[in-house]
Copies of this chain bind each other. A is one copy, B any other.
Amino acid sequence: MEIVRPTLLLDKNKCLKNIERMVKKAESLHVDFRPHFKTHQSAEIGEWFRPYGVKKITVSSIRMASYFASHGWKDITVAFPVNILEINEINILAEKISLNLLIENKEALSCLKKFIRFPVGIFIKIDTGYNRTGILASRTNQIDSLLSELKNSGFLKFQGFLTHTGQAYHAQSRHELLNCHFEALLKMRILKNQYRKDWPGLKISLGDTPTTSICDNFDEVDEIRPGNFVFYDLMQQKLGSCTFDDIAVRVVCPVVAMHSSRNEVVIYGGAVHLSKEWITNTDGKPLYGRIIVRKDGEEILLDEKNYVSSLSQEHGILKIAHKDFDYFKVGDLVEIIPVHSCLTANLMGQYLSSDGTIISMMR
């Protein structure tokens, strides 16, 4: 297929390698692997996990759970605080598949208890330091209160504790990231030990892409739920979760204008393609993507002095070092490595696989 406009290119081999690497990691850690499918949002890419025996998945919405359930996935955790307004959709799903939901407050639990008509698994969402949402691991009175409600509930089956160590994304060094993980792990293990006498078999679910890519201590963890690893991206590369070579997605964009007087190149590729997620470049300025060019068929990753420096709806502005300006000309295609592949994939809506096929996503 000829590429003439912004196109999300997926390197299938890299993606398969990323999947295989994480499967092996889970095996070596003796933990269940419940990959998060919110990154790719694609039934076809989901199929690539099956040969490895993956049967359990994580998603971030009831809609996404319905999509993957309709594509044959029978064991799904919705890793988002349960939205009780979707009780009808929850009941429809719970009748068909093994569904796990997240609870962190009495309001949602009471409502769920009242209206649920089929068995569902319940994880209590724990905040181990990210402070986005969940019950602080130290607030065992709140946990006790939910558990006492769960004890008398017919359809709601307590499964264990679940956390997302999102604070790892703010780590400034490998050491800090290891610390984030270890602190979260410790908090979850304490909960497991404290509650397992009353709830034998309870699980702890822990492990996002940075920690599962970098850390090796998952003692007593029952399940990991990384998602982004399937593609990786600049944010992960910066954290040390992956190398540039592991990143499986790029947005291919046409060059439409050149401004040599200010060392800028304009591409057709903007906020509606890449998303406005950014990291800081070496000068502390927002960086929305890194740039790959091709010369004589060879692929060249330009250094960080060359980067996507701003985005409007459809325009992307590349800052280009003087010495590298000659790599570009109007009508060329350049490849942009996205900062956050989950948001880029969500915007692009489909993939062009390296084997030449179009891979569709949930719409």
Contact = CB atoms under 8 A, between A and B. Distances in A.
Given A271-B343, A277-B271, A342-B313, A63 B133 contact: no
Nearest to A342: B313
Contacts of A259: 133
Interface centre among A105, A312, A347 (most CB of B within 10 A): A312
Interface in A302-355: 310, 312-315, 317, 329-331, 333, 342-343, 346-347, 349
A70 interface: no
**Identical subunits present:** 2
A363 interface: yes
Nearest to A81: B256
A313 B60 contact: yes
A331 B38 contact: no
B131 A262 contact: yes
A358 B346 CA distance: 22
Contacts of A84: 254, 330-331
B330 A108 contact: yes
Contact of A166 (B131, B276, B312): B312
Interface string A258-285: 1100100010100110011100000000
A273 to B, nearest CB: 10
Contact of A81 (B80, B257, B262): B257
A63 to B, nearest CB: 7
Interface residues of A, number: 56
A190 interface: no
B104 A257 contact: yes
Contacts of A61: 5, 268, 314
B132 A256 contact: no
A296 interface: no
Listed from nearest, the 10 A-B pairs whose CB atoms lie closest are A107-B330, A4-B85, A81-B256, A276-B276, A133-B266, A60-B314, A81-B257, A133-B257, A83-B254, A85-B254
Given A81-B268, A275-B276, 9 more contacts: A4-B86, A5-B86, A60-B314, A107-B330, A108-B256, A132-B266, A271-B275, A276-B276, A313-B343
